[in-house]
Structure 1
Amino acid sequence: MLNAEIIAVIEELAPRSLQESWDNTGWQVGNPLAECTGALLCLDVTPEVVLEARDCGCNLVISHHPLIFKGLKQITGATLQQQAILHAISEGISIYSSHTAVDNARGGVSYAMAAKLGVRVLGTLAPRMPATWQQLNVIVPRDKASDLREALIDVGAGATADPRYDSCTFTIGGRGSFRALDGASPAVGDIEALEDDTDEVLLQMPVPVRLISKVCSTIAQVHPYESPAYHFVAPADADHDAGCGVYGTIETRLEAEDLAALAKSAFACERVKVSHYGFGDSKIRISRVALCGGSGGEFIPAAIAAGAQAYVTADIRYHDFVDYGDKILLIDAGHHETELCTKDIFYNAISQKFPTFALFKSSVEKNPVKYI
């Protein structure tokens, strides 16, 4: 089995297209086409983790945090990052990272956090930007296809994300059938007569989302049929549930102290930081909770807008506690702690597809933050 076949499972769950623009989800080191002897799963790639993979007989490491974020000008072993790269190269170990792709994926980090707290997910805190284009499929008589195509191109249809191309279309020929009933004014055929051999084509073209209403108006004006058959299709990688963070409900309404204790236990935290909201006030019972693994402080306003009474995340700034602490229970459960679930996410996805494949969860990596 090839490394690429294992990673295909990860990318089915979390396509690279879901990553943020600043991220480096994907292959970090090695050969995707190498035969895979086993995979070690981790949160962070360190020299110790790479050597652990070697000792486990694994030539593939799958991490959450990318080993390489920015360009490297030298690889001499001067830093832990460089040492990890050198060990990987010398030991023939490939490294793949799924970072914000699995953060944003449906069934990803925030969903795993929700499962640990018993939260029934209702929605996404910060949905990914919707697709900027859709594909138009419209059926038109063959002898009118050129007129419609030109009219649609004139209003901007046929443009792609690549500004070097426009007027992009594809046409498929076929024979259409329909029957016009009383009250209709068919351009072809007679009332109540089955028209079953109409020479038509399926015209396909990309349409920027901002132009969809204009395209619909153009079809209504130019198309010879009084009821044109057409529809728009979103890109295959569009996922309306994708995005950072989730919100939902818990079955039992909890006081602030109890929810904080539950989060501390669920994520195996030595300690958690919390805001004052709800503490000491038994009248406040929390039933709606938002969650986001890792650094999720920027989504506090979204959590409040979603009606959440509590928000579990990490790396919350002091001034966020000052600004929002009286509006929502903020629970900072730690970056490492809230994202450690990625090892389980990777393990479950791969083992479900390949039950006998050699998978290991790193046992040498540790939280880089120590509490005293």
Structure 2
Amino acid sequence: MKINAMIQVLEQLAPPSLQESYDNAGLITGSASWECTGVLCTLDAIEAVILEAKQKGCNLVVAHHPIVFGGLKKLNGKNYVEKAVITAIKNDIAIYAMHTNLDNVAWGVNNKIADKLGLINRKILSPKPGQLMKLHTFVPVEHAENLRTALFTAGAGEIGKYSHCSFNVEGTGTFQAGEGTDPFVGEIGKTHTEKEIRLEVIFPVWKQSEILSALFQAHPYEEVAYDLVSLGNDYQDIGSGLIGTLPEPMEETQFLRMLVTSFGLSMVKHTPFLGKNIQKVAICGGAGSFLTGKALSKGADIYISADFKYHEFFDANDRMVIADIGHWESEQFTTDLLIDVLQAKFPTFAVLKSEVKTNPVNYFTGE
């Protein structure tokens, strides 16, 4: 099996186009054309993980965080990034990273956190605009059903939990075939009228090539008339953070005890308790202070994330509790998500979980 087969599955889960502009997700070392000997999943592709992959016979490391985030001007092993890259290259180990693209899908990093908390009624906290397009095309009435089916199969026509969504209106199309054409209907040099359906479907921007391929293959006309329109609508399944509710409200200290147990935490940094129950919970794996305002506007009782600076805790404005559980701690279950996805697709292939705890932060309690 080629490494590319693994990459295709991962990119169906979280297309690379969904990563933020500052990110560096994707294949960082190695070649997608290599035969895959095994996969090792981790949060961070540090040198110890690369050596573990070598020892376990895995030539593909799938990580959440890109080991190369900024540009590399030298490779002489003076820091942990250069050491990991050098070791990967020397041992023919490919590193593939899924970072903010995996953060930005409703079924990604934050959904795994929500699973651990038992949240229901989940929604993206800050939906991302500009991720939808609409296709308009015109097809003979008797061929409309076949074309609709082809477009739906390619991924068009999904709105929230609804599928096979389209708009259809019947009208009359006219055209005149010129010399050298091979018209499906009508005659060369004569104006032809045809009963047609104007068919409209929406689709995610990253599926454009598949949608157009399906359109051209299924449409009977030699020249297909179509329009592509970018939509400003928010895509409710794509964006930052997540918000949901607990099945039953919990007292603040009770909820934090549950949080500590569920995530195996040594400590939680938090703003003052407000003396009210917690039921609406906002979350963001990793550094999420940029979503504090969104969590407040959505009426969250608590916002769980990481890497808050001192003054950013004041942004809770005595309206909700902020709980900083640590960066690694908030994203630790992402490794399980990656394993679950790959094992579901390749149940007989070696997909392993790294035994290296990559968290660089330790906590001294004085005990």
Could you say which TM-score interval applies, normalised by the shorter chain? 0.7 to 0.9
Mapping of residues 23-62 of structure 1, within 5 Å: 23-62=23-62
AA aligned opposite 2:36: C
Contact kept in structure 1, 2:127 and 2:235, CA below 8 Å: no
Amino acid at match of 1:76: N
Q: Which structure is larger by alpha-carbon Rg, 1 or 2?
A: 1
The CA distance in 2 between the partners of 1:121 and 1:76, in whole Å, is 50
The residue type paired with residue 346 of structure 1 is L
Find out whether 1:292 has 2:311 as its counterpart: no
Specify the alignment match of 2:16 in structure 1: 16
- Report if aligned partners of 1:130, 1:240 keep a CA contact under 8 Å in 2: no
Question: In the alignment, is the contact (CA less than 8 A) between 1:14 and 1:102 conserved in 2?
Answer: yes
Q: Are the aligned partners of 1:141 and 1:201 in contact in 2 as well (CA < 8 Å)?
A: no
The residue that corresponds to 1:204 in the other structure is 226
Residue aligned with 2:27, SS: strand
Give the superposition deviation at 1:253: 0.7
Question: Which residue matches 1:305?
Answer: 297
Change in CA separation of 1:201 and 1:79 when aligned onto 2, cut-off 3 Å: closer
| 1:134/1:208 contact within 8 Å kept | yes
Question: Partner of 1:176 in structure 2?
Answer: 195
Distance 1:347 1:200, change over 3 A: closer
Q: Distance in 2 between matches of 1:15 and 1:208?
A: 18
What CA distance in whole angstroms lies between the structure 1 residues aligned with 2:34 and 2:235? 31
Aligned-residue offset at 1:203:
2.3
Deviation digits for residues 244-296 of structure 1, max 9, x if unmatched? 11111101211111111111121111101111133xx3xx1111111110001
> One-letter code of the match for 2:131?
A
- Give the secondary-structure state (helix, strand or coil) at the position aligned to 1:43: strand
1:321 Cα deviation from its structure 2 partner? 1.5
Structure 2: segments with no counterpart, 5+ residues: 140-170, 178-182, 186-193, 198-220
Indicate if the aligned counterparts of 1:173 and 1:202 stay in contact, CA closer than 8 A.
Answer: no
Partner of 1:251: 247
Structure 1 alignment gaps of length 5 or more: 147-171, 179-198, 211-233
- Report the alpha carbon displacement of residue 134 of structure 1 after superposing the two structures with TM: 3.1
Is the contact made by 1:276 and 1:325 (CA closer than 8 Å) also made in structure 2? Answer: no
The alpha carbon displacement at 1:239 in A equals 5.0
Residue 44 of structure 2 contacts residue 64 of structure 2 at CA under 8 Å; is this kept in 1?
yes
Give the conservation status (yes or no) of the 8 Å contact 1:59–1:92. Answer: yes
1:143 is displaced (CA, Å) by 3.0
- Please name the residue that 1:107 is paired with: 107
Opposite residue 268 of structure 1, the aligned amino acid is G
Map residues 62-141 of structure 1 onto 2, 5 A cutoff.
Answer: 62-131=62-131, 133-138=133-138, 141=172
Judge which range, 7-16 or 317-326, deviates more: 317-326
Deviations 1:102-156 (A, max 9, x none): 101121011000010011143111111233753322466443699xxxxxxxxxx
Per the alignment, residue 348 of structure 1 pairs with 340
Call closer, same or farther: CA 1:208–1:102 in 2, change over 3 Å: closer
Report the CA distance shift for 1:208/1:78 in structure 2 as closer, same or farther (over 3 A).
Answer: same
Tell me: CA distance 1:177–1:126, structure 2 relative to 1, closer, same or farther (3 Å): closer
- The one-letter amino acid of 1:17's match is S
| Structure 1 letter corresponding to 2:20 | E
> 1:127, 1:173 → 2: CA distance?
43
TM-score in terms of structure 1 length: 0.75
State the alpha-carbon separation in 2 of the partners of residues 343 and 132 from structure 1. 29
- In structure 2, the partner of 1:367 is 359
What is the CA distance between 1:209 and its match in structure 2?
3.6
Check the 8 A contact 1:275/1:325 in 2, yes or no: no
- CA–CA distance in structure 1, aligned partners of residues 249 and 2 of structure 2: 48
Match of 1:220 in 2: none
> Any conservation in 2 of the 1:48–1:365 contact (CA below 8 Å)?
no
Q: 1:4 to 1:13 in 2, by over 3 A?
A: same
How far 1:173 sits from its partner (Å)?
A: 5.8
- The answer as to whether partners of 1:49 and 1:364 remain within 8 angstroms in 2 is yes
Q: Residue by residue, what CA displacement relative to the aligned partner does 1:200-239 show, whole Å, maximum 9, x if unpaired?
A: 98620223447xxxxxxxxxxxxxxxxxxxxxxx9xxx95
**Identity rate, percent:** 36
Q: Which amino acid aligns with 1:240?
A: Q
Secondary structure, aligned partner of 1:64 = strand
Determine if the alignment matches structure 1 residue 269 to structure 2 residue 265: yes
> 1: CA distance between counterparts of 2:125 and 2:196?
46
Maintained 8 Å contact 2:284/2:304: yes
Distance 1:9 1:327, change over 3 A: same
Give the 3-state SS of the residue equivalent to 2:225 in structure 1.
strand
Q: Decide which of 313, 322, 327 is 1:330's aligned counterpart.
A: 322
CA shift in 2, pair 1:52/1:176, >3 Å: same
Q: How far, CA to CA, are the matches of 2:289 and 2:279 in structure 1?
A: 21
TM-score by length of 2: 0.76
What is the rounded CA distance, in whole Å, between the counterparts of 2:98 and 2:305 in structure 1? 19
Q: Secondary structure at the match of 1:21?
A: coil
